[in-house]
Amino acid sequence: MIDITMPALSPTMETGTLSKWLVAVGDTVKSGDVLAEIETDKATMEVESIDEGVVAELLVEAGTEGVPVGQVIMRLSGDGEVAAKPAPAAATVAVEVPKAAVPVAVAPVPAPVTVAASKDGRINASPLARRIAQVQGVELSAVTGSGPNGRIVRADVEAAAGKPVVAAAAPVAAVPAPMAAPAAPAAPFTSDIPHVVEKLGNVRKVIARRLTEAKQTIPHIYLTVDVQLDALLKLRGELNAALEPRKIKLSVNDMVIKALALALRQVPKCNVSFAGDSLVSYSRADISVAVAAPSGLITPIIVGADAKPLSVIATEMKALADKARDGKLQPHEYQGGTASLSNLGMFGIKQFEAVINPPQAMILAVGTGEKRPYVVNDALAIATVMSITGSFDHRAIDGADGAALMQAVKTLIENPLGLVA
């Protein structure tokens, strides 16, 4: 029998909702077949099989919420095998644990075993491990797997890439540490006004928790500047005319992403993260861009935006935004980032202050471009102007450094040839 467990599909995922089974008992599955849809703390994602066999048992009903990472959710039987009884609740399984997971009392981690290849010679690795290996440039054939049947999992790839990982087995019975008495449950909502109560999904719960933590624990400072857009709009029109045969169309947002990325490289004191008693400084500008998806806000990442041409940024941003709205983003496409950008200009919002996305230390809020009276060449004129506001983590970034970054963004937008030089 081959146990299929609830995978860890994001760094913050501790439990998931098994939204839908896409196989039934008796179905034959092969590596790469989609088994189920899992609602994570970020999106609804498809889970692929990395093994071959016949579905023997579905141990979790569709629609079940709060399924812990690592719990066995189904079993496959191999050639000549028959369905077995479910393993005891305390059985030890190997799971992929996100880097940000909090350590818990666990059983010993199984020793790594030799990587097993499938019948067709394909390396036995989870889909997430394959994606991370591709991004990190890790050769899977040189990695030793620690998962079931020698499967290569996320922790194995990150260890091979030289990154710190947290690996653990499923929790077993242990003497709990003393805990404070649980808070009294909130009283159920009541109102005599006609209304509908909708249960929060995992994504909205995570958004609520993270934004609350960000505002409660991060001392935000806000810096706003007005930026003249006319030169950028003129250059955008010229570039779009040149890119039309390639069916690429630049947006103002694409150009602001590039401006923020270049500014972060010019002012490296703002391309940082606060980490308790240390400060992490990044040598690459990865820009997380806020996208409104049906399940809630998500921030796909333009990796290395400082070094990418505008045409590449535009192409990647369109593809990522489409995947975000369809709930198809993969973890490596929204995990990480060194700074964020949120643009509400398309809604006519003139100016706003965005909440920092930890562990990042800044986010740029972009308002609408509009015709305003503006001093141009020492004379009052009508110009296209937009307001941009930077939110900075004052623990990591001093006000003067934040001001220097905002000035750098302004200069790049108002002198946009610097975006293509």
* Residues belonging to the active site: 394
Only one residue has tokens 């975006």, namely 419
Total H helices, total E strands in the chain: 7, 21
Taking a C-beta distance cutoff of 8 angstroms, is the pair 32, 52 a contact? Answer: no
Tell me how far apart the alpha carbons of residues 341 and 390 are, in angstroms, rounded to a whole number.
9
Burial group, residue 189, by CB count within 10 angstroms (0-12, 13-18, 19+): exposed
Taking a C-beta distance cutoff of 8 angstroms, is the pair 268, 408 a contact? Answer: no
Spatial CB neighbours of 80, under 8 Å, sequence gap ≥ 6:
none
Give Cα 74 distance to the centre of its chain.
27
Q: Token pair of 273, please? A: 């993260």
φ and ψ of 199, to 5 deg: -70, 135
Between the alpha carbon of residue 420 and those of residues 71, 228, 235, 257, 370, the distances in Å are: 50, 18, 10, 13, 24
Q: Token pair of 166, please? A: 């947290």
* Selection from 140, 133, 124 nearest residue 158 by Cα: 133
Query: Radius of gyration of the chain from Cα atoms?
Result: 25
Taking a C-beta distance cutoff of 8 angstroms, is the pair 411, 417 a contact? Answer: no
CA 70, 72, 78, 84 dihedral sign is positive
Sequence length of the chain is 421
